[in-house]
A and B are shown apart, each in its own frame.
Chain A
């Protein structure tokens, strides 16, 4: 916190307080009191200025929550996922560490069992040569078909061992020929050459596995393992967890009737899911191809393998007719409903997330799609929020308890800013001057700005670009380097409805007459209004959603003449399959999120998400409840009890990361496809209390969350596995050398937690934007202080989305709030895109007094139902709405139309004859009579009947 270097004594101070003593020591416990009793009384309750200046006050004001009041700027860049090695490391929980060894042993056993492979090469996989490696993988895949569960499991373990990089090959120190061509791993400072090499080999073997068709074999095995019921009676613990607490009481296991699922129940599932995850994560990343091979042909070959793998991934399975993604979603329902509580939910979520990324693409693909769609619809293309804001710098917002003020701290840019402001006024062309009569928040001229380098001139919006780069009115003090006008990186937007409101307002004022819906008739309006209108129209932004909404209205209105052209792209197909049970999936996602929220008790919730972290021994321990009270400063991984707690916290964090990504990706892609699909999914989220859940998530000590240290580096893959291979099958032991204890370094953050938090606020934004009812939910749930605390995280993107949420509510929070949070208002002004004619910060009364939010949601619901009925009632008959069921305001006769009456009559003889008809009983009894009467007695010219009216060719 920068000290304000200006004198604090006002000029009447001498009169009131007397002359200050010149000796002032920092440790003087005696505070100086003025002699005036009035001043003394008043001063008694106020914090002493002197203390404030010395910065001591913060120690007193600090609560447990603001443990670290401020953190510096975090160098975080938002990506679709973390780096390759981190993602793979997060797949494994520390309790699963033993399984690295098991996998290696399974592979050894496999080698011994087959005559072809033992002998010359020992256990080495890398020396086998490509063809033999393919053979190994082929044989293992064949063993997945075995009916015996142990066979399948050991084959899966051996397979996973290979996919993990066959780390036993590293056990000879001197034989290492490191292949360091892949420099993409080099950025990770904590990795050594061996780790990189292991990852490169893992990637290579992943491609080999894809070539032999491993995905199909693994999917078959997954389907088989899903069928295995959860054995409630309990089985012996097969896990020998030497590193965990040894003082546990094992005798009580058999007595428990209803036990919860633990690691031993889902070994096969976990192995299969991990193997699939390795495959998907490796092949999804196109850039890995360049890291693995050098030559062009091999790269081409790998690229074609990649393409066919991705095709396979999205194709529906042969007998199931559902793609793998839907299979994974379908696993979530039995998990939370209690039928199969042993499913390893973290791995399921992670794999689902990665498959969604692989099939639909990440944020860049979504951006490209959106731009293509907009181009096709003839709409303008503006800068994308995510793209620009990824590199945005954070603004510095003062601590809530600190003195009220604007941006404190002397900034070097201040003189430049003033200069910039001056220049902006001199540079504006005719139009800009007229903009000022619209509303005051048009950016471009005044930007007291925090972030420096993020603001680059954007070429897309023409009127906003001040051409102030080269041409300046040269003054004597003009700076030597060319200075850019600082402004927001977004152009302003305005909706058609807003222009409409503006026009109506103007017309009302001048003519007392409204022409609603018409924004073009300008007869009789004065020139300032005309020029405002011109500016507004220039910034008119029509979203794809609005276009689709309009189409939807037309399709509903003109049911016969307008037919919808549904494009069967990937998103559409997945949506169709998700639709029937979408509410189940949403419930599953949110329940798991709730269970994984940081403040939740470990086992109190309805779903037990720890079945892939706990062993039967640790299941019994009470560490879980006591782990909640872990004080961050006390984290010392060298203590055994802390390790389990770290594992559990880490597990929760990863689950949150995966779940939040799945939700935001689905929201984003559905919205791109059709806005009602997005609305349907969003509404499900709302109905399942998504908003309070996410607010609860954000309502924790965010700084502590961001800087969480729930990682034990030596236990992560691949270090752990390689250590095991090189140290005679022992796992790394933690000592002071390989574990960091103590406070975190400056600028430290945990990528996945920042990522999850950003996803959360993005989801909240998407759910509540333009929906009054949901925005009021935000207000009602008192989200403002929560979001305010979130602003302490110095990540530009996160702050942007948080500020957007605050901007939405600012109107409803009242003037006192706005007055006391002026810095937040300024931050919003400086960061968030402006909407022209928007009075977000001024309005005192809520826009609509009607608190009738139920009808908003239900009218949306009926629109969505209509959409589903129109599009999907043929595929999913449950969605068809009956006549008069879904009453939409408007032309009433449409409610009486039953489109099914208008289907063409089926007159194809095959299909008619193929239908199963239910014949009445008396017909069957009197069948012979019917035959005699109707068939035998009638004279039918069969030749003419069979020739079907076609000319006789053979005649």
Chain B
């Protein structure tokens, strides 16, 4: 049982928490976490300790199921990408980036509609993140967060593919913004290592040269 230093739940940011106190609680080892969402808790904790240490964050502990691990990480990526989307909002106007492209070759359709349509880049970003959230939260595909259905694992690959395009668009078209964000969170690097490790995206599609930096 976690020791209570103050009344109420310990690992929660209650109403009125200041930014300096955000998520300011002591760390626990994974074995001591006994909530049902312990994997998410562990991942978020590791990130908070050092966001730039990609390998430690992605280091899968032996008693965690691989499907759950992949799923929870993807959830976390979608959560954190909202930060990038927020920054992009300032720059990425539909008049400027009317299509979702990275390099010149490929223009992508936004799949988060009844019929896939061509959305502007910022719309693509928002729709894709929303769509990923809907999918990851849907009870049909992921009814439980403790064991993930085999059939739903393949969905993770397509989600990753679409999410990656956000990174690539930001890198090629909004570079300063991207670099600032990356310096803080190392999100793209982590994502690249994540998809490479679990073979979720083919190498050919990883066009952001993040690992060489």
Contact = CB atoms under 8 A, between A and B. Distances in A.
Interface in A186-218: 211-213, 216-217
User: Looking at chain B, what size class is its interface with the partner chain?
Assistant: 20 to 34
Contacts of A216: 154-155, 158
A213 B158 contact: yes
Interface string B148-178: 0111001101100110000000000000000
A142 B163 CA distance: 12
Interface residues of A, number: 38
B113 interface: yes
A212 B203 contact: no
A134 B201 CA distance: 11
A395 B140 CA distance: 53
Nearest to A224: B116
B137 to A, nearest CB: 11
A401 interface: no
B111 interface: yes
A318 B135 contact: yes
A220 interface: yes
A159 to B, nearest CB: 14
Interface in A119-176: 131, 134-135, 138-139, 141-143, 145-148, 151
Interface in B93-146: 99-100, 106-109, 111-116, 118, 131, 134-135, 138, 140
A288 interface: no
A931 B38 CA distance: 49
A38 interface: no
Contacts of B138: 318
Consensus secondary structure, chain A interface: helix
Contact of B109 (A115, A224, A304, A315): A224
Interface in B57-100: 99-100
B158 A311 contact: no
B204 interface: yes
Given A138-B202, A139-B202, A213-B155, A308 B115 contact: no
Contacts of B6: none
B19 interface: no
A272 to B, nearest CB: 13
Nearest to A134: B199
B205 interface: yes
A145 B161 CA distance: 10
A145 B100 CA distance: 11
A142 B205 contact: yes
A211 B114 CA distance: 24
B114 A320 contact: yes
A139 B151 contact: no
B202 A147 contact: no
A319 B114 contact: yes
Tell me which of A142, A143, A212, A216 has the highest count of chain B C-beta atoms within 10 A of its own C-beta.
Answer: A142
Contact of A311 (B113, B114, B116, B151): B151
Contacts of A145: 108-109, 111, 116, 161-162
A888 interface: no
Contacts of A226: 115
A224 B115 contact: yes
A503 B175 CA distance: 91
A223 interface: yes
Contacts of A143: 106
Nearest to A312: B151
Tell me which of A138, A151, A320 has the highest count of chain B C-beta atoms within 10 A of its own C-beta.
Answer: A138
B116 A220 contact: yes
Interface string B174-213: 0000000000000000000000000101111100000000
Nearest to A114: B204
A212 B157 CA distance: 8
A135 B108 CA distance: 19
Nearest to A211: B154
Interface string A650-669: 00000000000000000000
B99 to A, nearest CB: 7
A746 interface: no
Nearest to B140: A315
A49 interface: no
A227 B117 CA distance: 9
Contacts of B100: 147
Nearest to B119: A147
B133 to A, nearest CB: 12
A217 B150 CA distance: 18
Given A135-B202, A151-B106, A212-B154, 12 more contacts: A115-B204, A138-B202, A139-B205, A142-B202, A145-B161, A145-B162, A213-B158, A217-B158, A220-B109, A220-B111, A309-B151, A319-B131
The 7 closest A-B pairs by CB, nearest first: A308-B151, A213-B154, A147-B107, A224-B116, A135-B202, A223-B115, A138-B202
25 contacts: A116-B204, A135-B204, A138-B202, A139-B205, A141-B158, A142-B161, A142-B201, A142-B205, A145-B111, A145-B162, A146-B106, A146-B107, A146-B108, A147-B100, A148-B107, A151-B106, A212-B154, A212-B157, A213-B158, A220-B111, A223-B114, A224-B109, A308-B150, A318-B134, A320-B114
